[in-house]
């Protein structure tokens, strides 16, 4: 069996990533934290931690965004790269960091009630007021 390999990077290229194996469908998060951090909304895929390899990891800085999670970004160019729940065995990687073709599937929208008022959700993906549950 040939392993599924995908690569990506931050905007400046100081941080490069590679994943092996399947990635989850992309979750679009419209909460206020994601809005502030990304300028619009977050779109990320989850992989098991052991599936992720990082190059230039020393350039990743972590911001503790809540009691239970942190957000990783490139300290050189500021690209949002990761979201990680404390103690989780998986990590969320910003979908836009992947090199094209990303070969990712859209999954669902979460925290739709916190969405900014200057755009609309017009696709047919599942939409949740809060997190999926
Ligand atoms: Zn960078
Ligand atoms: Zn969010």
Are 10 and 77 spatial neighbours (Cβ–Cβ below 8 Å)?
yes
The gap from C-alpha 87 to its chain's centroid, in whole angstroms, comes to: 17
- Domain span at residue 17 reads 5-114
- Tell me whether residue 126 is in a domain: no
- Tell me whether residue 39 is in a domain: yes
- Tell me whether residue 44 is in a domain: yes
Identify the H or E element spanning 36.
Answer: helix 32-38
Closest ligand to residue 14's CA: 1
Closest ligand to residue 27's CA: 2
| pLDDT of 34 strictly over 60 | yes
* Overall average pLDDT of the 50-67 stretch: 97
* Overall average pLDDT of the 118-124 stretch: 97
- Tell me whether residue 49 is in a domain: yes
| pLDDT of 121 strictly over 90 | yes
- Tell me whether residue 125 is in a domain: no
Cα-to-centroid distance, 34 and ligand 2 (Å): 4
Cα-to-centroid distance, 13 and ligand 1 (Å): 5
Cα-to-centroid distance, 127 and ligand 1 (Å): 31
Per-residue pLDDT band at 132 (split at 50, 70, 90)? confident
- Tell me whether residue 119 is in a domain: no
- Tell me whether residue 131 is in a domain: no
**Structural domain tally of the chain?**
1
- Tell me whether residue 18 is in a domain: yes
Cα-to-centroid distance, 71 and ligand 1 (Å): 14
pLDDT > 90 in the chain, percent: 95
Query: Which CATH number goes with the domain that contains 108?
Result: 2.170.150.70
Cα-to-centroid distance, 11 and ligand 1 (Å): 5
């Amino acid at each position: 069996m040939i392993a599924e390999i995908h690569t990506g990077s931050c905007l400046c290229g100081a941080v490069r990533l590679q994943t092996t194996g399947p990635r989850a469908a992309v979750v679009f998060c419209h909460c206020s934290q994601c809005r502030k951090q990304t300028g619009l909304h977050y779109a990320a895929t989850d992989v098991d931690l052991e599936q992720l390899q990082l190059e230039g990891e020393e350039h990743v800085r972590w911001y503790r965004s809540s009691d239970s999670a942190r957000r990783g970004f490139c300290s050189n160019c500021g690209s949002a790269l990761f979201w990680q729940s404390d103690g989780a065995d998986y990590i969320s990687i910003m979908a836009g960091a992947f090199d094209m073709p990303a070969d990712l599937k859209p999954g669902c929208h979460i925290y739709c009630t916190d969405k900014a008022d200057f755009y609309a959700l017009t696709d047919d993906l599942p939409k949740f007021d809060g997190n999926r549950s």
